[in-house]
Structure 1
């Protein structure tokens, strides 16, 4: 597996990113952008990108917090339980707006194209990345053919930049895997998102992972669940296999 370190010029600066590809599949059959959770790019996300690359995709993991670099690193198991790191994390998350990531995503797509990744694109996001994966699909509908969110928060909130408000612009197939109990994506938001996607005639599935906690997919989280993570991998690889062709 090869990782290529990129410096992607955006409207606001330069974002570091890792581009993962399998030497066994050249050129890659399609591209995937993996939108980080709150703890930023790190070995756990690199491992996830490598697994997707092993399926034959070129996988980009950009640093969404590049405007505030350097920062961290953060321990995903303890960062939100220590007041100092919790404050630092929340400043990064709230200071990196959906509008910023939507703009950055155009640069991410251009960077992938410049690296020879010219096929269809899928997006997947975890935690804060979930909404960004969906908003990217709404903003770049002719390029992004599949969008997935896992334990994504605020997918159908009252905020003006909530992804459900852009459902009519989405042409991609959408998959949402939600934690059984998740304060960042309560039942009323799930209902609102389902209604928005259905009314917009978006091909979609919203699935409840009962018993899983927010963060269950990512190996360095304290709530990581191996069985639940494998279920997530099955759904994600099936989604991309069926759409990124």
Structure 2
């Protein structure tokens, strides 16, 4: 599998990113990281997507903080020092920052040969970033997927559900059955906003799964649930990215 590290110049500096695949279908995918940053677990997921014929870009959303990590996803939030660092990095990387960065990520995909339709997928904090990207770049992004994404329909002024009116992409949301960051109240708010905006979307509840179940190195990783997520994601992208 073709993999290379690149530097993406943004308005705020240089973001490191990893590219996978060779755009066999002409379509591209941006994979938005979870809270633990780009690492082998996400690279293996990107390779699997690239194997479906896409060029996949995995950018470092925390590049503004300089060198950090690597973090152990099983212990980072239970260790006071790394927990404090992670929370500061998450809070210091706003939706607006990632939305602005995404314009440069899209350009990097084009430069890498992905001149066809673009999809986005995100996990944990990346799930909300994927939806925000779809609402910010409706002319570029035709498919957006979020898995165990947090705060998709919160009361914050930058909550992704507030962008529903501007989304033209198809949307898939896979939520953990138990997830404090996306409560039933948020789920109801999300569905209401996306239905009123007439977005083509699916929200699927993965009963028995907990936040982080899709990602290989999480302590709550569930192989059966992860494979179910892969079936949904691969079919979703095939329907939206390969038929255009």
Question: How would you bin the TM-score normalised by the shorter chain?
Answer: over 0.9
How far did 1:29 drift?
A: 2.9
Q: Residue 210 of structure 1: SS of its match in structure 2?
A: strand
TM-score by length of 1: 0.97
Gaps of 5+ in 1: none
How far did 1:69 drift?
A: 1.7
Other-structure match for 2:3? 3
Q: Distance in 1 between matches of 2:82 and 2:13?
A: 25
Q: Distance in 2 between matches of 1:61 and 1:137?
A: 16
Other-structure match for 1:207? 204
Cα pair 2:150 2:181 within 8 Å, conserved: yes
Other-structure match for 1:89? 86
How far did 1:96 drift?
A: 0.3
- Pairing of 1:157-172 with structure 2 (within 5 A): 157-172=154-169
Matched length: 242
TM-score by length of 2: 0.98
Deviations 1:6-36 (A, max 9, x none): 10000000000001005xxx54430000000
Instruction: Give every structure 1 segment of 4 or more consecutive aligned residues whose post-TM-superposition deviation is greater than 2 Å.
Output: 26-29
Other-structure match for 2:175? 178
**RMSD over equivalenced CA pairs, Å:** 0.8
Is it true that 1:32 corresponds to 2:49 in the alignment?
no
Deviations 1:64-119 (A, max 9, x none): 00000201110000001111110011011110000000000000001111122110
Gaps of 5+ in 2: none
Deviations 1:201-235 (A, max 9, x none): 00000010000010000000000000000000001
Deviations 1:170-218 (A, max 9, x none): 0000000000010000000000000100000000000100000100000
Deviations 1:111-155 (A, max 9, x none): 111122110000000000001000000110011000000000000
Q: Distance in 1 between matches of 2:20 and 2:194?
A: 31
Cα pair 2:15 2:60 within 8 Å, conserved: yes
Cα pair 1:176 1:207 within 8 Å, conserved: yes
- Pairing of 1:51-200 with structure 2 (within 5 A): 51-200=48-197
Deviations 1:36-77 (A, max 9, x none): 000000000000000000000000000000000201110000
